[in-house]
Structure 1
């Protein structure tokens, strides 16, 4: 999971994400090479969907 954090955190910071949670197979340790990474993000009210 740490390798995913190292990749994801800089991107979240770049886009001003105030909170993020991982869920799905990666969190459960059940991912395969075809799995995606499920991320729930929260952005400040001042941000819109398109920046």
Structure 2
């Protein structure tokens, strides 16, 4: 999602996007707030914000 506005992306929407990724085969219960926030933090770092 290279054009995603991360400031407008909520944790629920992020969770749904992760669970919908092709090949996602992990336990959905692992997508808790702490992990989702870590994903967002890494995403911000990746795009240089």
Name the TM-score, length of structure 1 as normaliser.
Answer: 0.31
Pick the structure with more strand per residue. Answer: 1
- Whose radius of gyration is greater, 1 or 2? 1
Give the structure-2-normalised TM-score.
0.31
Indicate the structure with greater helix content.
Answer: 2
